[in-house]
Amino acid sequence: MPAAAFGLLLASLFGPLAVSGIWDPFELRIAELSRRIALTLLGAKGLAIEGAQNGVPTLGELGRGQLPYTSIALGFKLFGLHEWAGRFPLAVWGLAGGLATYALVRRLADRVAASFSVLALASMPVYFLHARTMLGDIVTMSSLAIATAGLALAVFDAKASAAIRGAWFVVGAVGLAAGFGARGLLLGVATPSLAVGLSWPSCARRVGAAPSAHETWWAVRCWPWAW
């Protein structure tokens, strides 16, 4: 089941990335800003275009965090100025979000539920669209998934060792850093942090509760809203 789910996710995200061409003007503007970042900040000198603006983009031009643009710029630096080269790093971000979702649901429930979560993610139109186009918001979506999964497993997985919980905390911190780089403090950092932090009072109140016939240990101890 997990293999089939991830096979569908990979096919969904990495199927021919150049088949639709550039989505003008939305992708074209972001691709141009990313080209300038690759040229000036990543040292991709071959991306200079005579007669075009080749300077470092300003924050006003970007209009949001730099991480999505830098991700696209890295693809341009490694593979050249092609539409698929700009989309490929965003598809990788989409895969990272799928892995984080699987890890969280796998620990809270089981492999079947986690596999269905990945299938739902792979078929979600907004996720699919942003993972396969140079719009950039897949970086935010995946960052939130990574941060939430890492922090939640670090805080609530009572059966894990201290080393494993510490590793999950590092994963959560990486997700928070990526969220900050994509959408700033309020959306990229506060949202996943509060999502986990505000659930702690409910968890603490229910720690001593005895499980019912249809509840597992995690539903009673820390996840009162779980199915």
Q: What pLDDT, on a 0 to 100 scale, did the predictor assign at position 210? A: 47
Question: Whole domain around residue 69: which residue ranges?
Answer: 2-205
Length of the chain: 227
The pTM of the full predicted model, rounded to 2 decimals, is 0.86
User: How many separate domains does the chain show?
Assistant: 1
Q: What pLDDT, on a 0 to 100 scale, did the predictor assign at position 202? A: 65
Chain segment 186-202, per-residue pLDDT in tens: 999 999 999 998 876 66
Q: How far apart are CA 96 and CA 103, in angstroms?
A: 11
Q: What pLDDT, on a 0 to 100 scale, did the predictor assign at position 197? A: 87
The CB-based long-range contact list for 61-64 (8 Å cut-off, 24+ gap) reads: 61/33, 62/33, 64/136, 64/182, 64/183, 64/184
Is residue 103 domain-resident? yes
Q: Rounded to the nearest 10 degrees, how much is the dihedral formed by the CA atoms of 19, 24, 26, 29?
A: 110
Is residue 227 domain-resident? no
Is residue 98 domain-resident? yes
Is residue 215 domain-resident? no
Is residue 220 domain-resident? no
Q: What pLDDT, on a 0 to 100 scale, did the predictor assign at position 21? A: 74
Q: What pLDDT, on a 0 to 100 scale, did the predictor assign at position 203? A: 63
Is residue 63 domain-resident? yes
| Residues 67 and 178: beta-carbon distance below 8 Å | yes
Is residue 210 domain-resident? no
Q: What pLDDT, on a 0 to 100 scale, did the predictor assign at position 158? A: 79
Chain segment 140-150, per-residue pLDDT in tens: 999 999 999 99
Q: How far apart are CA 117 and CA 90, in angstroms?
A: 20
Those residues of the chain that have pLDDT short of 50 are 206-211, 213-221, 223-227
Q: What pLDDT, on a 0 to 100 scale, did the predictor assign at position 40? A: 94
Is residue 135 domain-resident? yes
| Residues 193 and 175: beta-carbon distance below 8 Å | no
Q: What pLDDT, on a 0 to 100 scale, did the predictor assign at position 198? A: 86
